Amino acid sequence: MSEHNECGSFMSGLFLGGIIGAVVALVLAPRSGEETRKLLKDKAVELGKEIGAQTETLKEKGRELLTQEAIEIGETPDTGS
């Protein structure tokens, strides 16, 4: 079970590091206000898509764990799909 926690922690750290890096780059980059706003909008859209993808990945892993645990205790898994 700890492998799953380590993977989740790594992904969370990677994701958070990416966000922090993007914010620092935006703040320190010499751009006009209009360019910066466009870049922020584009990054927000990209971030929304990434969050959606990560959510789906987490759901799938949760279903896999539920199925695995149900098999181990001898029950039929109900994944809610």
- Evaluate whether residue 66 is within a structural domain: yes
Give me the pLDDT at residue 76, please: 63
**Rg of the chain over all Cα atoms, to the nearest angstrom:** 19
**Domain span at residue 10?**
2-73
Distance separating alpha carbons of residues 52 and 35, to the nearest angstrom: 26
The length of the chain, given as a count of residues = 81
H helices present in the chain, as ranges: 2-28, 33-73
Pull the structure tokens for residue 35.
């360019």
- Evaluate whether residue 48 is within a structural domain: yes
The pLDDT tens digits for 43-72 are 889 988 988 888 888 888 888 888 888 788
- Short-list 50, 45, 52, 19, CA closest to 37: 45
- Evaluate whether residue 31 is within a structural domain: yes
- Evaluate whether residue 27 is within a structural domain: yes
The pLDDT tens digits for 4-39 are 566 677 878 888 888 888 888 877 777 777 887 888
